[in-house]
Structure 1
Amino acid sequence: MGSSSKKCCCSGGLRLCICVTSILFIVLLVVFLILFFTLLKPKEPRIVSQPVTLENFNIVILWPAMKIQLNVTLGMVLTINNRNYGGFTYQDGVAYVNYHGDLVAEAPIENGSIPARGRHNISSSVTIFADKVIGNSNFLGDYHSGVLNFSASTTLHGKVSMLKYFKMKAASHSSCDISIFVQNKTIDSDCKSKVRL
């Protein structure tokens, strides 16, 4: 009699222990899922193209040979704001500059990483190939109008890592319309950025 009631007690205690453990596991799982889909959910990094700067601009027209010498260097800065609670790692990239559809400059962007909730500036100097600009059929017309119009684009591919196990690919694309004013050697730019997860 005593041994059967003892078995019954042990069996009831084991069931209670399993029930409590199961409930705690379910509660912890629900809390983790809520945290993951709200606070820890991977978010796209915010990437902002800063206004392009004119680091160097010099144009000389030699008469009467009508020889043109042009020297242009642009400063480009991308600001990446990693809003995640995990790191963002991006691969090597290239910044391209076009003049009326012709590629006139490119500059490499080295890979790097940004810690959780961190911010990072990627800067690059781009020297424009003068002969490609001068050789373009639009150059003389643009020069006489006083404005040289360029476009720049950059695409970065990377990954957002959460808790070292969850990784999500991200690609950011930025583009800028750039106007260089010949007479006063100033620059104006309008930049936009897009991110795809």
Structure 2
Amino acid sequence: MLITIENPNYENFEYPNATGYVKFLDTVVGQVPIVGELVPPRSQINVNTSANFMVSKLINDPNFLSDFLSGIVNFTSTASLPGKAHMLKIIKFKATVYSLCDISINITSRNVDSNCISKIKL
């Protein structure tokens, strides 16, 4: 999968390796490794990664089969990227980016729709 990380600020943002999580209802069913990067100011980068799903957790959830048979399966993904913002290449301060995505997979059409909200905490 391709994850786009956007930095709308006027400083570089650098974060170490992190892990995102995919949930079905309230159960974590997947992990997404996110490689650490430097995101230049007012730009975005694309990070290639893959989700490691725990299929047994999905199959054992009593709601999964009914959702699957209905043709649409909904997931949420969360990630937090703690890192450092660089100002004027001299000053560094801690910042954390939080992301929450609603992901809807249409089994019949094989379409994936996602809606994400990101916030930064300094």
Q: Shorter-chain TM-score category?
A: 0.7 to 0.9
Counterpart CA distance in 1 for 2:60 and 2:33 is 24
Q: Equivalences for 1:4-43 in 2 at 5 Å?
A: none
State whether structure 2 residue 15 is matched by structure 1 residue 90.
yes
Gaps of 5+ in 1: 1-74
Deviations 1:14-64 (A, max 9, x none): xxxxxxxxxxxxxxxxxxxxxxxxxxxxxxxxxxxxxxxxxxxxxxxxxxx
Q: Percent identity?
A: 35
Partner of 1:80: 6
Q: Does the 8 Å contact 2:6/2:42 carry over to 1?
A: no
Aligned-partner Cα distance in 2 for 1:168–1:159:
5
Q: Which has the higher contact order (CA 8 A, sep 6+)?
A: 2
TM-score by length of 1: 0.56
Report the counterpart of residue 54 of structure 1 in structure 2: none
Q: Which residue of 2 aligns with 1:10?
A: none
Q: For 1:109-149, what per-residue CA distance to the aligned partner results, in whole angstroms no more than 9, with x for missing partners?
A: 12121345543222322142222111101012212322111
Question: Could you tell me which residue of structure 2 aligns to residue 166 of structure 1?
Answer: 91
The answer to which structure has the higher helix fraction is 1
Q: Alignment partner for residue 191 of structure 1, among 94, 110, 116?
A: 116
Q: More strand per residue: 1 or 2?
A: 2
- Give RMSD over aligned pairs: 1.9
Partner of 1:125: helix, strand, or coil? coil
Shift of 1:76: 4.3
User: Partner amino acid for 1:80?
Assistant: E
Residue correspondences, number: 122
Distance 1:99 1:117 in 2: 33
For structure 2, the 5+ residue unaligned runs are none
Match of 1:184, SS state, is coil
